[in-house]
């Protein structure tokens, strides 16, 4: 019984958030995801999966407006020494500050909610709950991306990434 409790306690603690702080959400500058991700952007960061060593992450993206207020973003993702992964985001506005869309590797719809300089993205991937928080910096050229992946409420993976515009 004690061993079972210890294992559950370990898993609960392993799912706790790191102390890394994102910049605080604020009213300005306002994040416009269609504007920011139109053109070339590049991201660098790390992927930290539970019980594994963190690996580097590199993301190259090209975004194109869809002509109806939305955006199509094609990404080329390098994660550690895994094969390059290609995926596509398609988002469209539903009302001010709200978007819905699809993602190649999502199991259903993607929701995007923007408030001030911060966006929250949520979707399901392979039965896991994925949440991203994007915070636009004051220079309006970089975004801090924090992605948390959970199952049964326990964090199983975490990504920290800095995304830069390349126009």
Classify the C-alpha dihedral 91-40-142-57 as positive or negative: positive
Higher pLDDT, 123 or 5: 123
Residues 21-80 pLDDT 10s: 445 455 568 899 999 999 999 999 999 999 999 999 999 999 999 999 999 999 999 999
- Per-residue pLDDT, 75: 97
Give CA–CA dist 132/14, Å, rounded: 19
95 - beta bridge partners?
98
- Helix and strand numbers (H, E) in the chain are 2, 10
Domains and CATH numbers, the chain: 44-165 (2.40.128.20)
pLDDT at 16 (0 to 100) = 42
Q: How confident is the model at residue 5 (pLDDT cuts 50, 70, 90)?
A: very low
The model's pLDDT over 80-119, given as tens digits with 9 standing for 90+, comes to 999 999 999 999 999 999 999 999 999 999 999 999 999 9
State pTM to two decimals.
0.82
- Whether 15 has a pLDDT exceeding 50, the answer reads no
Mean pLDDT of 133-160: 95
Q: Classify 80 as helix, strand or coil.
A: coil
Q: Which residue do the tokens 């992964």 mark?
A: 85
pLDDT at 25: 53
């Amino acid at each position: 019984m004690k061993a079972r409790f210890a294992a559950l306690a370990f898993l609960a603690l392993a799912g706790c958030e790191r102390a890394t702080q994102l910049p605080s959400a604020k009213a300005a500058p306002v994040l416009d995801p269609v504007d920011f991700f139109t053109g070339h952007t590049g991201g660098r960061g790390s992927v930290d999966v539970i019980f594994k060593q963190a690996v580097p992450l590199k993301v190259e993206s090209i975004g194109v407006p869809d002509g109806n207020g939305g955006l199509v973003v094609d990404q080329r993702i390098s994660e550690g020494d895994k094969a390059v992964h290609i995926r596509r985001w398609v988002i469209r506005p539903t009302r001010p500050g709200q978007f819905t869309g699809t993602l190649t590797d999502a199991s259903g719809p993607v929701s995007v909610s923007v408030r001030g300089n911060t966006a929250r993205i949520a979707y399901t991937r392979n039965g896991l709950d994925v949440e991203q928080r994007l915070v636009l910096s004051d220079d309006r050229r970089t975004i801090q991306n924090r992605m948390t992946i959970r199952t049964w409420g326990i964090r199983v993976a975490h990504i920290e990434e800095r995304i830069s515009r390349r126009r």
